Amino acid sequence: MLALRAPVQRAVRTTATRAQQIERSLWRLSSRPLCSSAPLAVVPKSRGVVCQTRLELRGFHATTTTSKIVAYKLADIGEGITECEIIQWFVKPGDKVSQFDKICEVASDKATVEITSRYDGIVKKLHYNDNDIALVGKPIVDIELDEQPSDAETAQPPAATTQATASPQAPEAIAAQPPRDFTSDRTNDVIYATPAVRRIAREHSIDLRFVEGTGKSGRILKEDVHRFVEHGESPLTLHPPTKVPGASSIEGDIASDEPRSPFIQANTGATASSASLTSAAAMVAGEDHMASLSPIQRAMFKSMTESLSIPHFRFKDEIELDALMRARQHINSHLLALGDAPVTKLSFMPFFIKAASLALAKYPILNARVVADGTSPPSLLYRAAHNIGVAMDTPGGLLVPNIKHAQTKSLIDIAADLQHLVQKGKAGAISGADLKGGTFTLSNVGMIGGTYLSPVLVSSEVCIGAFGKVQRLPRFETTIVDGVAVERVVPKHILVASWSADHRVVDGATMARFATLYKQLLENPELMLANMR
C-alpha cells in the first residue's frame, strides 16, 4: 500500500495543476468582449470585464454580424493616368450590389472603362456626380458590407458614444456638416449614350435623362439630342407620364405643377422654378457659355502644346494607286471565295501600314525616339518594333491605337488587327494597351475629305504621315506605238501623302528618300510582295 501511495499522490498533483491551467485559459477567454453591439460603458472587475448590454460577456453565445462600410477607391488603370471623368453611374445610394456588378463608367484621356464592384453589399454614398473628375486612389463610392474587410479598406466610422448620458450634439453643428450625397434625386434609369453624345448634350446644356433614345435598347443617339434641341421641349411635356398611386415621379415632379426643365441651369442663386424653357432655348439659340475640356481634349491640349517645341519638316508627294487598286480587288475576290479568312475585305490602310513598315526597315531613324531629359546630352532610341499607330475618330474624340509588330505580320493579319481596333473604337473600348508603345503614326482622313494635310508630331515619335482623299485626275502616260514613244493623257487615281518629321534629327534628304521608297512600294505592289518576310 505504501508503494502505491506515492504514484497516486503524483497523479493527483498533476491533475490539479492541469485543472488550474484550464481555469486560467477559460478566464482569459471570458475577459474578451464578445458583444453584438457597441458597449455603453466598460467597468473593470477583479476578473474580466462586464459589458453593459443585453448580452453577458462570460461564456459563449450567438452574435450578429457587424456591418462595415468600405471606401471603394478608383484603382490605377495604368498609362500614368491620375484622373478620370465620371461618365455615368449605374447605381445610386441604397442599391444592393454584388461582385462584378457595374458601378460606373469613367473616361480618361486614353480610354473609357466600366468600373465593377469587388464586394457584396449596399451602396451608401457616391463621392462624385456625373461629369466630375475623380482622382486615382481616392474613394468613389462607399459600400456597406455584411462581413468585415481589411482595416486598410474600411472607412473610419463616427466615434462611438462612451456614456449613455452623453449630451447630444448641438443642432447648429449638425446643420453645418450636411452629408455630401450627389445622387439622392437620381432615377432608376441608366443613360445609355456614347461620350460624343454626352459632349453634345453638355455643349447645349441638355439633361440626357429627359431625352428619349431611339437607338438599340434605348440608346441615345446624336440625332436624338439634335432633335431635342430643335424642339426645345421636355419629353414630360410632350408625353405626360401616367401617375401610379404610391409611385414617385422623376426628380420630385409630383410636388411641382410645372414640368422640370431638361436644360441644365447654372447655379446663380435663382430658384429652379424661375428657370423657364424660354430662357434655356434662348441660351441654346446662340448665347456664349463655358465648357470644360473632356479627358481626351485635355490630353490633346497637353501633347500638342509639347509639339510646339518640335521643328517640323514637311514633305508631300503624289502616289498613283491604279496598280494597288487592281491588286486589292484580286485579293478581296479571293478572300470572299475563301470563306474562312479572318477578314473578308481589305481596305487601303493595311497596304499603307505594311508599306510604312517596309520603308522603316530601310530608314530606321524614322522609327526612333528623341531622348532628351535635360540631365544628359540628347540621344536617339532606335526601336526594333514597328508599332504603327492609326488615328481614329472615335465617339469620344481622337485616339491613336497602334498595330503591334507590323514588321512581322501579313496584310491579312494587319487587316484583322485593324478591324478589331475599329470595332473597339466604335464601342468606346480602346484600352491603354492598345494606345501604348506607338513608334510611327499614319492618319487617313480621306473618307471625310481634304487633299493636302499638315500632320503634327507627338513628342514620342519623329515622323508622321497623313493621307487625303483619292482623286481621279488626268496624267501624262508614255506608251510605245509602232516603236515610237507617244505621250497621251490618261485618268489616274491619285493620293497625296503628306509627311512631317522632327527636323532636329531628321534631315530633308532622309525624309525624301523614305517618301520615295514608300511611293514605289504602293505604286508597284509586286515590290511590296518581294520585300515581305
User: What 3-state class would DSSP assign to 142?
Assistant: strand
- Which are the contacts of 191, defined by CB distance < 8 A and separation ≥ 6? 88, 208, 209, 220
Q: Are 127 and 115 in contact (CB under 8 A)?
A: no
Kindly state the DSSP code that residue 214 receives in the 8-state scheme. Answer: -
Q: 216, 199 in Cβ contact below 8 A?
A: no
401 burial via Cβ count (<10 Å: 0-12, 13-18, 19+): buried
Q: Are 236 and 250 in contact (CB under 8 A)?
A: yes
Please identify which of the residues 312, 420, 493, 503 carries the catalytic annotation: 503
Contacts 24+ apart (CB under 8 A), 254-259: 259/234
For residue 325, the 8-state DSSP code is H
Catalytic: 204? no
Q: Which of 479, 484, 455 is nearest to 467 (CA)?
A: 455
**Residue tagged active-site, from 76, 146, 185, 507:** 507
- One DSSP character per residue, 274-322 reads G--HHHHHHHHHH-----PPPHHHHHHHHHHHHHTTSPEEEEEEEEE-H
417: region left, alpha or beta (phi > 0 left; psi from -120 to 50 alpha): alpha
Cβ–Cβ < 8 Å for 371, 505: no
**Radius of gyration of the chain from its Cα atoms, rounded to whole angstroms:** 35
Q: How far apart are CA 340 and CA 475, in angstroms?
A: 40
Q: How far apart are CA 217 and CA 220, in angstroms?
A: 9
Question: Which neighbouring-strand residues pair with 487?
Answer: 478
Q: Which three cell numbers stand for residue 239?
A: 408625353
Q: Is 79 left (phi over 0), alpha (psi -120 to 50) or beta?
A: left
Amino acid found at 457: L
Task: At 206, list the grid cell.
Answer: 441638355
63: closest CA among 40, 32, 94?
32
**Spatial distance between the Cα atoms of 179 and 382, rounded to a whole number of angstroms:** 55
231 a catalytic residue: no
Give Cα separations from 178 to 141, 172, 321, 351 (angstroms): 17, 11, 68, 61
Identify whether the C-beta of residue 236 lies closer than 8 Å to the C-beta of residue 257: no
CA atoms lying within 13 Å on the CB side of residue 3: 0
Residue 414: how many CB atoms within 10 A of its CB? 23
Annotated catalytic sites, by residue? 503, 507
